[in-house]
Structure 1
Amino acid sequence: MGGAALPRDKAHGTWALIRPFWFSEQRHRARAMLALVVLLNLAIVYVNVRINSWFAAFYDAIEKHDFPAFKHLLLVFTVLAVFFILMSTAQIYVRQGLEFRWRQWLTDVYMARWLRSDTYYRLERDHTLDNPDQRIAEDLRSLASNSLALSLDLLSTVVTFFSFVTILWVLSGTLSFTLFGHGASIPGYMVWVAIVYAVVGSWVIQKVSGGLIGVNYRQQRVEADFRVLLVRLRQNAEQIAFYDGGNIEGARARVAFGAIRANWREVMRYTKRLMLASSIYAQAALIFPLMAAAPRYFAGAFTIGVLMRLSDAFGQVSTACSWFINSYSTLADWRATVNRLREFSRRLDEPEASALRLSTGAEVRAAALEVSRPDGRPLAVPTDFTIQPGERWLVRGPSGSGKSTLLRTLAGLWPYAGGEVTMPRNEAGAAGQARLALFLPQVSYVPDGDLKDALCYPDDPQNHDDADCARVLRDCHLEEYVDQLHAREAWSLRLSPGEKQRLSFARALLLKPAFLFLDEATSSLDGDTESALYEALVRQLPHSAIISVAHRDTVARFHTRELRVGPRAGLGNLTGMAHAAA
């Protein structure tokens, strides 16, 4: 994924990233804040122009030994400096407020797009994008910050240029000289010297540092890869400790950091070139205007005060013309960020390529269903079946035959499928309303925060009272946690795999879904606990359909229908088996 090879696409171009906020529901407040920042910038430029005029009077007073004028000019400078400090502080304060407002809006929008229609799952499943978390947390911040900084600095630079170029033109006068025996003159020669100086410097900077954009893009990616590896190590610390995998994880971390080190050498190489050229340019700018103005000064064309004013005006004009040089590093970071966000935006908008037709209904129904592996090899699954509310189905088949994949297909998460699937779809409901469908995977997700938050997930905890929460915890053999409903901890790390699975059963009893799908949801439990939890489901959710993927025959007695996946794909009854087990 290079930093400068993205195709041109208006829907995901640079302007498409920047424009929406300024035409959003927050546009009036945002534009007002932007206008205020611009006015403060213009006021700062005005103060700089006044200070430039002050230079001539101040140094002329020193040259003439005029002490009263010297004291008066110190007072004038103090007033100008106070105004400059106040306006600069206000400008930064308002700009930071606008920057965060923009970042917050971008974060809300991109979070909604990322979480919409299971896009976050698709990106992870297909490995089509690296580190979406960094793009939301870091790149959006960088986009707002650098876009404002660069655009406002550019505006200030343009105003500064036109304000001081007139001063420089008038003060520098005409340079007359003889060239090859002919008289020549250059009006406003200091202006042309400043422009040529800046243009040549900009060209040199671009030549020596042109690869910095791509290098910064790669640096952002490898830094994010290393950070994600460390986060996963922390989140899976116990499993890694049981495997005694510290050395292996250390080796993996060193490899990941090696990518950072290798790319950082490139960053150092290009930054060295940039700093060398920029430093030469900046140091030369200190003496260059004095050298350029020296012929007319020593000819008696102007005073020392005018010379200092010329030097300051030259510095302002050359700095304005050197905006590209001074902003090159920020521009490189900004361009790398834009490229990453353009790629992110394009991936978010990519449609799911699937021949499977999904519809909403009051039952689970599959018609002409075909399910394949990602490489196109078909999985043997029943093509037509219907699951009514209150029915209990056991999904069976050899390991790797596609049982979990079938559940993903029913949930609309598996694109390698065809036919038609009808499923109840959850919608945001009122307090106490049962969910239509709930899936309990083998590895239960436990969000951090209050235990009640984890228990009620994905419902709002305020929709469930503490008494009901305590009851389902007891029903699922989690009595020791009843008094910790509002304890905030990293529950995903504290709970054992078996406790997580018991918590997922408690979640099902609390949310009362019309259709409950369990994918090896008791694999970490002993037989007695498994039976107790299934008995609780059958007793407390008599009208809910229960669809279980399981390898153990012990759960068969809690189901009346069978759905076979694999070589013996088909449907069947379990009444006789259930009766025998009973």
Structure 2
Amino acid sequence: MADQSSDEAAQAPPATPDMRAFGRWVRAWLTAPDRGNARVLIAGVLAMTLAQVAVQIRFNVWSRDFFNALDKRDADAFQYQILVFLVLAALSMTAAVYQLYLKQLLQLNWRGWLTRRLTESWLRDSRQYQLEAGAAEADNPDQRIAEDVRLAADLSVDFVVGILISVTMLIAFVGILWSLSGPLDIVLGGMDFHIPGYMVWAAVLYALVGSGLTWWVGRPMIGIQVRRTTAEADFRFGLTRARESGESIALIRGEADERRGIDRLFGEVRGVWRELMSSQRNLMWLTSAYGTLAMIFPTVVAAPAYFAGAMSLGVLMQVGAAFGQVQVALNWFVDRFPQIAEWRSAVSRLAALQDALDDLDQLNADTSQPTITIEEATEGEEEALVLDNLQIAFADGTTVIHGASARIEPGERVLIKGESGTGKSTLFRAIGGLWPWGGGRIATPPRDAMAFLPQRPYLPLGALGAVLNYPRPADAFDAAAQCDALEKVGLGHLCDRLADEERWDRVLSLGEQQRLAFARLLLQKPRWIFLDEATAALDEPNQDAMMTLLVEAVPEAAIVSIGHRPGLEAFHTRTLTLEKAEGGARFRRAAPRRVSERTQRRRLRGPIGRVTA
């Protein structure tokens, strides 16, 4: 990266990625019930590959006959060989086209299965949040799933097909080359040496020298490719963040600073690309010289036998063609080394993502680890929210809440207060099962009975009706019920837009988004409601109206709120205050508070007419 020292840039490439994990993915894919027609596609690719090899073998024989016809000036044989060539060309094109088509289907199948597998691991049991909070080594998981899965799947299939072609071609043409090249008798140091099939040994020696030099020259590319992929992902993330935060950037005139940040990220991309270009340049010198020499090497090696009259022109051409096919097979590593480096980079990043997700699974499953224990009640059991000697820590081990104990009964309305930094929002994440770091026990109601409203509600992509029903199915509530809920929260003007698909997080202001979240609660009527600064963007009258609506619509629901806004106390029967202390914040309990009848009447007025835009 741009800020790395030259010593770091010259470091040896990172350790070999966990290929065992990749092997497990392949085995799981080929045995998974949702693999689709993967095995049929593999069989089809194999059949087309063998057909291509068979055609190439026949082309080699044709090369001999064609040049012998030229050498003998036999016009009839020449015309016949032209017809043979046309038939072979048609067969070769057919096999190549269908091999490509089946290979692409196989790549799409493999990529789809791997994407589903990683996405299911990522978007499960709050892992996507925990990964961002505590597993920095797996940054940009979205881009790893989008880009690295594509590269790993496509290149894996390409490599397997390429190796299959190389092995079959090698087996076929080594035999041809051995039979055509004959023995070589040489005298070295007064000793006679008889080397049978010497052209085969020449091809093997030539390929081994080329492969060894390629590995030696191109080895740094593997580490550079890993850094390039990371730098590109960071650059795309910076651009995406600037686009998503366009309004805030414009309002505070932060464009210049954003440009500097993007320039810095692109500087890292440019720096690592310059390293890659330098490495590719060095490798290109080698591969160009190697490929150019290969054009004449077999003819030069076989020329003595031709001039001695031991082989005809046709046989010489056949030997050259067979030598070329053996070289292509043996040079697979040389020709594919840049792609191998890119593939290893993608596999390494995916393995790191899978390792991070597995670590989170192990952390949550290992009872010997100091993690927060979540005990979720089942339907029909007594419902209560219990915090038992709860310790909450950051991922780095710093304790933010220490020894918190409390019990909240069904139907209670509890306000949690505390100055900034006491861990109120982190407490809510722990209750929701997002935050495993810490200790102690949390007993919760059934998850389906709970609803959480963060300060910025999540509005998924799609029609407004589906956004309003989220996370229920899009048809969970009819249009009349949805419109009624929108009317109550002061968003009645959106009733005729329930079928419109927009970026609703951009169309609606934050205050409107918060009211839309309250409309969800009015529709879904959960038994337990958790509000984390859920009215922060509303003025006091609208806040009062939303809370009044909530209390009246779900009077039996328990409400647990975090908030600093004046007036919230009137809608809660109890307050828990978090106070900073050495070793972590602790609860200071307040006695139940009586609210005057006048205040209750003022707070519980009907909401209609109180909601303002």
Range class of TM-score, shorter chain:
over 0.9
Go from structure 1 to structure 2 and tell me whether the alpha carbon gap of 1:75 and 1:359 turns closer, same or farther (over 3 Å shift).
same
The SS at the match of 2:458 is coil
Distance 1:380 1:199 in 2: 63
Q: Deviations over 1:547-573 (max 9, x none)?
A: 111112311111111111115833335
Which residue, 35, 42, 56 being the options, matches 2:43? 35
- Residue in 1 that maps onto 2:4: none
- Please report the TM-score for the alignment, with normalisation by the length of structure 1: 0.94
Match of 1:405 among 416, 426, 429: 426
Question: Could you tell me which of 341, 359, 362 is aligned with 2:375?
Answer: 359
Could you say which residue in structure 2 is the equivalent of 1:522? 535
**Superposed structure 1 runs of 4+ greater than 6 Å apart:** 7-10
1:415 deviates by 2.9
Q: Check conservation: 1:107, 1:140, Cα contact below 8 A.
A: yes
Q: Does 1:484 align with 2:505?
A: no
Q: Distance in 1 between matches of 2:154 and 2:406?
A: 55
Task: Classify 1:133/1:456 alpha carbon distance in 2 versus 1 (closer, same or farther; 3 Å).
Answer: same
Other-structure match for 1:430: none
Distance 1:158 1:344 in 2: 33
Residue of structure 1 in register with 2:413 after alignment: 392
Cα distance between partner residues in 1 of 2:430 and 2:184: 81
**Equivalent runs, 1:64-463 vs 2, <5 Å:** 64-126=72-134, 127-350=136-359, 351-352=362-363, 354-361=370-377, 362-373=383-394, 378-379=399-400, 383-426=404-447, 435-463=448-476
| Distance of aligned partners of 1:149 and 1:219 in 2 relative to their CA distance in 1, 3 Å threshold | same
Distance 1:8 1:481, change over 3 A: closer
Which amino acid is 1:387 matched to? I
SS at match of 2:37: helix
Shift of the alpha carbon at 1:183? 3.8
Partner of 1:563, secondary structure, is strand
CA offset digits 1:42-85 (Å, max 9, x no partner): 11101000000001111111111111111111000100110010
Q: What is the aligned partner in structure 1 of residue 603 from structure 2?
A: none
Distance in 2 (alpha carbons) for counterparts of 1:504 and 1:539: 16
Q: Please tell me whether the aligned partners of residues 170 and 326 of structure 2 are also in contact (alpha carbons under 8 angstroms).
A: yes
| Correspondent of 2:26 among 15, 18, 23 | 18
- 1:202-237: per-residue Cα shift (whole Å, max 9, x none)? 111111111111111111111011101111111111
Q: Secondary structure at the match of 2:534?
A: coil
Q: The residue matched to 1:117 in structure 2 has which SS?
A: coil
**Alignment partners' CA distance in 1, 2:99 and 2:151:** 19
User: Is the 8 Å Cα contact of residues 185 and 192 (structure 2) preserved in structure 1?
Assistant: yes
Give the SS at the match of 2:124: helix
Secondary structure at the aligned position of 1:367 is classed as strand
Q: C-alpha displacement at 1:382, in angstroms? A: 7.4
Shift in Å at residue 199 of structure 1? 0.6
1:468 aligns with 2:481: yes
| Structure 1 residue 6, shift from structure 2 partner | 4.9
- Greater CA deviation, 567-576 or 454-463? 567-576
What code does the residue aligned with 2:64 have?
A
* Separation in structure 1 between the aligned mates of residue 415 and residue 402 of structure 2, nearest angstrom: 14
Tell me: CA distance 1:233–1:391, structure 2 relative to 1, closer, same or farther (3 Å). Answer: same
What is the number of residues matched between the two proteins?
A: 573
State the TM-score, normalized to the length of structure 2.
Answer: 0.90
Task: Give the structure 2 partner of residue 559 of structure 1.
Answer: 572
- With 168-177 and 19-28 compared, the bigger mean Cα shift is at 19-28
Q: Would the aligned equivalents of 2:389 and 2:402 in 1 still touch at CA under 8 Å?
A: no
* Of 508, 511, 515, the match for 1:495: 508
Corresponding letter in the other structure for 1:556: E
| Cα 1:3–1:36 shift into 2, 3 Å | farther
- Give the deviation of 1:376 after TM superposition: 5.1
Does the CA-based 8 Å contact 1:161-1:321 persist in structure 2? yes
The answer to whether the aligner puts 1:540 opposite 2:548 as a matched pair is: no
1:578, distance to aligned residue in structure 2 (A): 5.2
- Asked whether the 8 Å contact 2:177–2:319 carries over to 1, the reply is yes
Identity %: 39
- The unaligned stretches of length 5 or more in structure 1 are 427-434
What CA distance in whole angstroms lies between the structure 1 residues aligned with 2:248 and 2:514? 17
Residue 7 to residue 336, structure 1, CA distance change in 2 (3 Å): closer
Code of the residue aligned with 2:161 in structure 1: it is L
Larger displacement relative to structure 2 (322-331 or 561-570): 561-570
Shift of 1:306: 0.7
Structure 2 counterpart of 1:358, which letter?
I
Mean CA deviation greater in 459-468 or 394-403: 394-403
Deviation of the 1:497 alpha carbon? 1.2
Distance 1:13 1:507, change over 3 A: same
Asked if 1 retains the 8 angstrom alpha-carbon contact of 2:390 and 2:401, the reply is no
SS at structure 1 position matched to 2:194? strand
Instruction: Tell me, in whole angstroms, the C-alpha distance in 1 between the residues paired with 2:89 and 2:488.
Output: 73
- 1:96-124 CA-to-partner distances (Å, cap 9, x unmatched) read 11111111111111111111211111111
Which is worse superposed, 453-462 or 181-190?
A: 181-190
Q: Any idea what SS the aligned residue of 1:551 has?
A: coil
Corresponding residue of 1:507: 520
Alignment-mate amino acid for residue 449 of structure 1: G
1:174 Cα shift?
Answer: 1.7
Q: How far does the alpha carbon of each residue in 1:286-340 deviate from its partner, in whole angstroms, 9 at most, with x for none?
A: 1111111111101111111111111100100111111110111121111111111
Q: Distance in 1 between the 2:455 and 2:308 partners?
A: 90
What secondary structure sits across from 1:83 in the alignment?
A: helix
Deviation at 1:369, TM superposition (A): 2.4
Q: Sort the Cα spacing of 1:158 and 1:7 in 2 relative to 1 into closer, same or farther, 3 A.
A: closer
Question: What's the Cα RMSD here?
Answer: 2.0
SS in 1 for 2:567: helix
State the one-letter code of the partner of 1:487.
D
In structure 1, give the amino acid aligned to 2:464. Answer: L
- Give 1:574 deviation, angstroms: 5.0
Distance, in Å, in 2 between the alignment partners of 1:379 and 1:60 is 87
1:372 is displaced (CA, Å) by 4.0
**Equivalent residues of 1:17, 1:342 under 8 A apart:** no
Whether the aligned pair in 1 keeps the contact of 2:416 and 2:577 (CA below 8 Å) is yes
Whether the 8 Å CA contact 1:382–1:563 is kept in 2: the answer is no
For residues 522 and 336 of structure 1, the distance between their equivalents in structure 2, rounded to whole angstroms, comes to 46
1:115-161: CA deviations, max 9, x gaps?
12111111111134211111111111222211111112111111101
State the shift of 1:579 in Å. Answer: 4.0
Whole-angstrom distance in 2 between the partners of 1:418 and 1:183: 81
8 Å contact kept, 1:175–1:296: no
| Equivalent position SS for 1:517 | strand
Q: What SS does the aligned partner of 1:396 have? A: strand
Deviation for aligned residue 1:167: 0.9
Judge conservation of contact 2:122–2:357 (CA < 8 Å) in 1: yes
Task: Check the 8 A contact 2:14/2:223 in 1, yes or no.
Answer: no
8 A Cα contact 1:367 1:384, kept in partner: yes
* In structure 2, C-alpha distance between the alignment counterparts of 1:134 and 1:273, rounded to whole Å: 30
Give the AA of the match of 1:270.
Answer: S
CA drift at 1:182: 4.2
